[in-house]
Amino acid sequence: MSRAPRSAAARRNWGDDESGTSILHVDMDAFYASVELVRRPALRGLPVVVGGGQRSVVLAATYEARAFGVNSAMPMAQALRACPQAVVVAPDHHAYHAVSQGVMDVLRSVTAVVEQVSIDEAFLDVAGARRRMGPPTTIAEHIRTQVRQRFSVTCSVGVAATKFVAKLCSEHAKPDGMLLVPKEATVAFLRTLPVGALWGVGERTEQALARWGVRTVAEIADLDVATLQQMVGKAHGAHLHDLAWGRDPRPVHPGHEEKSIGAETTFEADVADLAVVEAKALELADTCAARLRRAGVVGRTVSVKVRTSDFRTLSRSHTLVSPTDVGREVFLVARRLLAGVDLRGLPVRLIGVRVEALSRAQDVPRQPTLDEAVDGPGRREAEVAVDEVRARFGRQAIGPATTAPGSRLSVSHVR
């Protein structure tokens, strides 16, 4: 869910001229929480929070929970202090991906020019669909109706001349709404917004601008570029000035290319036993590899993230000779990286494994590993077989492998 700054003035009717407004931004409303309410209708109307244990973070919250100040990415312990009566639901990522895929199929039935940017949002360029389906707002209402009827969840849609403004429109349309900003009204719309609404304005940039008395998009637009560049840097200043005037030439790029695939977990209690940390890294490597295979990609760089009990976060990475989508290969690199992390004797709070530098698997000739050259190419085939079992019977049907004494891994076990 979006937590970008909003403006009450921006929610008004900006006119109905749809010429030049072919960009749509579709954003699901409280997506994870909405999917859970479909699965658990008895929870409707209650403050529901999707997340893990108290040491994890909030993935999503219903609007009833948000009324108490609960937001995504908030630590669960803080969320439960803000809303003690919240109903906490453990996440089911398989269910979320299934609904997401269905929603994206709806969008691609409208136009092939769809750029999925996350599991619950996408940009569309509907210029080519207007003759067949009507003006952009009609297409937006069609999408909202189809998503509601087919999946019982809602989405908000922004309609504008650029991607940046379309995204701002969908944020101001939430929940379950649509907002059109005609091309000629773009600058007037932007001038109603706080400076934090601009892409690239984080907390530090916002504070830097505030020291100069700049708090609104209108004030940025009214500055000359050279002055703004003195405040926040040359490239950043030019970028913000362009956005303040509605200049965003980026087209909608069909498809969605993941830049990295990873998984991480926060332990329920800080862990001093490195064997336990290593076992969790094995599980995360297994998860990463399965996601790589499902996405049809391979990765060349493996990285690990470790957060110690004093909240210090350490990262290490290693680039492979050949890209991989095999869990065992990912784990062996991750284990070596973990061994090189100086924990200063502190227990571990969080562990993460990520695979980066992705390429489409079909475009990369696969080189056999040393193990495969000796034992035959059975490791990847075994992991693919596990994928198939989990697809049929659920992820819990087969557990991840466990580390055995020495450098080899024990066989995965059936539950």
Pairing state between β 87-89 and 48-51: parallel
CA distances for 210 relative to 8, 79, 213, 227, angstroms = 21, 29, 5, 14
Which listed residue (36, 64, 121, 329) is catalytic? 121
The stretch 177-187 carries a mean pLDDT of 96
CB distance 62 to 48 below 8 Å: yes
Residue 285 — pLDDT band, cuts 50, 70, 90? very high
Higher pLDDT, residue 38 or 75: 38
At 375 the pLDDT is: 47
Which residue is associated with the tokens 């609904």?
99
pTM of the model: 0.67
Give the whole-angstrom CA distance, residue 112 versus residue 253: 10
pLDDT reading at 143 higher than 50: yes
Residue 148 — pLDDT band, cuts 50, 70, 90? very high
SS3 336: helix
CB distance 287 to 263 below 8 Å: yes
CB distance 178 to 39 below 8 Å: no
At 310 the pLDDT is: 87
CB distance 351 to 326 below 8 Å: no
For the record, the structure tokens of 382 come out as 């075994």
Name 301's bridge partners: 319, 356
pLDDT reading at 399 higher than 80: no
SS3 165: helix
Residue 295 — pLDDT band, cuts 50, 70, 90? confident
At 409 the pLDDT is: 41
At 398 the pLDDT is: 61
pLDDT digits (tens, 9 = 90+) for 325-366: 999 999 999 999 999 999 999 999 999 999 998 888 877 665
pLDDT reading at 397 higher than 70: no
Give the whole-angstrom CA distance, residue 202 versus residue 168: 16
Helix ranges (H only) for 11-135 are 31-39, 63-66, 76-82, 93-110, 130-133
**258 is an active site residue:** no
pLDDT reading at 389 higher than 70: no
Q: Which amino acid is at 364?
A: V
